[in-house]
Amino acid sequence: MNVQTPRHASYDIIIVGGAIMGASTAWFLSDDKDFDGRVLVVERDMSYETSSTMHTNSCMRQQFSGELNVRISQFAADFVKNLRRYLGGDERIPELSIRSFGYMYLADNDAFADVLRDNRDVQVRAGAATQLMTPDEIKAAYPFYNVDDLVLGSINLVDEGQWDATAVFDWWRRSARDRGVEYIENEVVAVNRNPAGSRVESVTLGSGEIVACGQLLNASGPRAARTSRMAGIEIPVEPRKRYSWIFSAEQPLDRDLPLTIDPSGVHVRENGGGTYQCGGHADIDPAVDYDDFTMDFTLWENHIWPVLATRIPQFEAIRVQSEWAGHYAYNTFDHNAIMGPHTQVENFFFLNGFSGHGLQQSPAMGRGTAEFLVHGTYRTLDMTPFHFERIVEGRRIVEKAVI
C-alpha cells in the first residue's frame, strides 16, 4: 500500500471503498449542484487488483424479475451510451456502446419455464424487449446449441450485453477528482461513534489520523461486514468465490454467443476474436477469507468444461487462455443491494451486498445514494425497497433472476 494521508481533518462525507460503487457515488455527489461539501474516498488498494470491479463479467441485463431492478439496468444502459453527455461533454471521454448479444436464459423444466414467462411479463411492462423462444426457435437462431433437454429460452437483444466498465470507472474517478473529490490510498481501521452510539463522529486511518465526518458510506464490497462491524453493525454480506475462464475454440462459432445461463448455473458469453468467457462456482459455496483468490483447478475439468461441451458441442475442443477467482459481495439475506441509512447509527449509510450484479447497477445506485446523502430522499428512482431496515424487519426482496 502506498499510504496517503488526507488533506483535511474533517469531511462532510467519507466513502469507505473506492471501487465501482464508491466511485459512482463520489461522482454523482460532485455532479449535484446543491452540494458543495468535502468528500473523501478511502481505498485500501488503488490498483483495485483484487476488487470485484476488476473481476467482473462487464455485462448488463434487463432480465430481472423485479421492476425496480429492470429500471436500474435501463438507466445504466442510457448512462453508458451517453457517458460523454452525462460527464459534461468533455471530448476526451469516449463514446461508448453496448455490444447487445443479449442474455440467454435456458429452462430445462416447466417450473423454471413458468418463471421465465412471469419475468418476461414484468420486463416488457417496464419497457424491455425480452422475447421467449421455443427450443426450435433457439436452434434456428443459434444452431450451435444442443436444445434436446430444453423447454424454453428467454433473451433480450436491446441494451443487454457487454460494455466498457473500465472506461466508465476510470472517468468517474478522473472527473470527480477534477471537481474536488479527494481519493487516498489508506485503510479505515476504526469507526468512532458518539457516547450514545447514535452517530459516527470520525474514522481512524491505518496511518493513525483521526478524520471527522458528517456522514459515512460503506462501499467496501466483499469487506462490507468488516467495515460495518467497526460501527457495531452486523450485515449479512460475505465474500463468495466465483471462478472465470477465457478460452479459445478450435472451431469458433459463426455468430455472437449470447451470455448463456445454462440450467446448471454455468454461464458463458462471447468475448471476441474467437474467444469466450465463462464462469461458475462449486456446489459447496462457503464464505471465504477476504484475501483468498486461490483457483480450484478441478472445477474446470469436472464441471465447467463438461457442461460447456454438452450445451455447445463445438466447445469440445477448446483451450483455456486465462483463469482467475474473484469475489461476489454476497448478501445471504436476499441477494439484493443493501442501501440507505442504518436504523440506529443515523449517519452510517450502506451500499453493499450486490451479489454479482453490482457493476451494471452502479450508475443508478451511485446516483440514488448521492441523492439521499444530500437531500435525504430520492429524486429519481425510489430505492427505499433496498434500505437496511428490511433486514431488521425480515422483509426479503424476491429476485428470481440472480446468477
3-state helix/strand/coil string of 90-108: CCCCCCCCCECCCEEEEEC
pTM summary value:
0.97
Give pLDDT, residue 375: 98
Q: d(Cα 369, Cα 364) in Å, to the nearest integer?
A: 8
In the chain, % helix, strand, coil (3-state, to 5) comes to 30, 25, 40
Q: What's the one-letter identity of residue 38? A: R
- DSSP run (H or E) holding 118: helix 110-125
Q: d(Cα 184, Cα 42) in Å, to the nearest integer?
A: 5
Give pLDDT, residue 403: 77
DSSP string, 340-357: EE-SSSTTEEEEE--TT-
Q: Using alpha carbons only, what angle is made at residue 390 by residues 371 and 188, rounded to the nearest 5 degrees?
A: 60
- Which three cell numbers mark 193? 461513534
Give pLDDT, residue 57: 82
Radius of gyration for the chain, computed over Cα atoms and rounded to the nearest angstrom: 21
Under 8 Å CB-to-CB from 24, ≥6 apart: which residues?
172, 362, 363, 365, 366, 367, 369
- Classify residue 342 as exposed, middle or buried by CB count within 10 Å of its CB (0-12, 13-18, 19+): buried
Q: How many CB atoms lie within 10 A of CB 299?
A: 18
Name the stretches of the chain with pLDDT < 70: none
Give pLDDT, residue 330: 97
Picking from 192, 215, 217, the residue whose alpha carbon sits closest to that of residue 12 is: 215
Q: Find the length of the chain.
A: 403
Q: d(Cα 116, Cα 160) in Å, to the nearest integer?
A: 16
Give pLDDT, residue 257: 98
Give pLDDT, residue 402: 81
Q: d(Cα 24, Cα 28) in Å, to the nearest integer?
A: 6
Specify whether the CB–CB gap between 381 and 371 falls below 8 A. no
- DSSP run (H or E) holding 276: strand 275-280
